[in-house]
Amino acid sequence: MPRNKINISDEIEHLSVLNEKGQLDKDLEPEISETLLLNIHRTMLLGRRFDERLLNLQRQGRIGTFAPITGQEAAQLGAVAVLRSSDWMVPSFRETAAEIWRGRTMESLILYYSGFNEGGRIPDDMNNLPVCVPVATHLLHAVGLAWALGYRKKDDVVMTFFGDGATSEGDFHEGLNFAGVYRTPVIFVCQNNQWAISVPRSKQTRSQTLAQKALAYGIPGLQVDGNDLLAVYSAAKEAVERARSGGGPTLIECVTYRLMMHTTADDPKRYRKEEEVQEWVGRDPLPRFQKYLIENKKLLSKEKIDRLETEIKEEIQAAVERAEEQKSKLKEPLEMFDHVYAELPKNLKEQKAQLAGELSGNKKEDGHD
């Protein structure tokens, strides 16, 4: 029998609106209100400065390990800016700017990175899921949420974020397959920052793009310049409108770069060259967006940015002080044992007793009874 060719869609588009030199394609420029543009910029700048302050706090030993977002702000904010408050956001562990946009406080992040469970609590009126450290497992939660929204005949959507490394996990493929079969209203936003810790994207997959992985599951896929906020916004808006109208899921690959370390426990100089980093510094999304707002929209100036920098510095300092105050009022860590089991197992009783003894010894060393 002869072989017959099967016609399938095998085209993936790449979208760029504002290139790395700040040149604008007017034909592709999305309609965004001046208020929204300024709010996005403020959160973008806040996310960058808060990232820098968190790094200082970590190096001082005042918080634990965290994952910096510097260089990836546009990939996050361009996407979440199109969501409604009733929509759901399902983050991984590198979405600080998106979480702040969605209402999470900076002090809660500081508490979380200081090891306090209280910092990870999501308010009842906020449709965000907590940070998810295991790679790609949260994609299944996102798809489940989206399926439930459809089952309840709501027009809300779910947006979930993950890195390029997640596309090499089985959960990614299970999530996309389920979403495709059941046409769930979920937008998969892949922040392709080129490195899965120390593994480069080239050693993870033979696929020319990550967006093309959507084709296998019968859903739309699009690659965008992840450092171009306008391109990310346009792609996310199209995907959200499709999902909200019953058109099902979309995979968006945001090509960006992690300018800092994977986490503060990582030394990127051991596996990547500084020349590569500097090449991507030239594509930094923050000055690119600022140039657009100054030259094309006439909404910003150097003086306005300087004033905003001062405001943000004071805002971050106030959040640090609130977090430190909350730390001093939080209850004993022994409470972690009290709300898991109706009757504490023997091994946890032993651990609780051991921790109680260590805490008691620390108090005596500090001069407290």
* Active-site residue, 271 included: yes
pLDDT reported for residue 366? 52
| pLDDT tens string 327-361 | 988 877 788 888 779 999 999 999 999 999 988 87
Q: Check if 121 is active-site.
A: no
pLDDT value, residue 5: 85
Contact 257, 193 (CB under 8 A): yes
Evaluate whether 157 touches 187 at the Cβ level (below 8 Å). Answer: yes
Catalytic residue among 258, 283, 288, 292: 258
User: For the segment 216-242, what is each residue's pLDDT rounded down to a tens digit?
Assistant: 999 999 999 999 999 999 999 999 999
How high is the pLDDT of residue 94? Answer: 97
141 flagged as catalytic: no
pTM: 0.91
User: Catalytic: which of 104, 262, 283, 288?
Assistant: 262
Low-confidence ranges of the chain (pLDDT < 50): 367-369
pLDDT at residue 337, rounded to an integer: 87
Spatial distance between the Cα atoms of 121 and 118, rounded to a whole number of angstroms: 6
**Residue tagged active-site, from 84, 121, 151, 271:** 271
